[in-house]
Amino acid sequence: MRIAIASDHAALSMKAELREWLVENGHEVADLGPESGDSVDYPDFGYKLASVVADGTAERGIALCGSGIGISMSVNRNPDVRCALVSEPLSAALAREHNDANCLAMGARLTGMDMAKACVTAFLETEFAGGRHQRRVDKLSNPS
């Protein structure tokens, strides 16, 4: 699967470890930055992630910051992206199954690495159920 991953400075080490783990598991991963631990603004990286998911360059996105809150808000500014902030695998699976989430957000200061990997696994392995959920998902991009 083609996956894009981005973070802010607070989640740099989690991003690096997840990127390596995803590549080891056969995924094509685009690291959208940042490259150093220098302080950055999470919206810049959230917008960049949303853009490549929205245009189809990446099939899924993983957004990381200290809490996951700020970067998820920035990713969700794009109407073609549905980013779910999660901290455990059931929420990650339900975000895919019921909401067709195409991005996952997590907080590096709040979520341990083993839990983060479990969330990503659930997110990548769960299919969208469609059916009764489709009309609701459609409304997320077209609120009128």
Residues annotated as catalytic (active site), given as ranges = 65, 98
One-letter amino acid at 10 equals A
Nearest CA to 126 among 109, 101, 106? 101
Nearest CA to 65 among 39, 88, 91, 99? 39
Angle made by CA atoms 89, 132, 137, in degrees to the nearest 5: 65
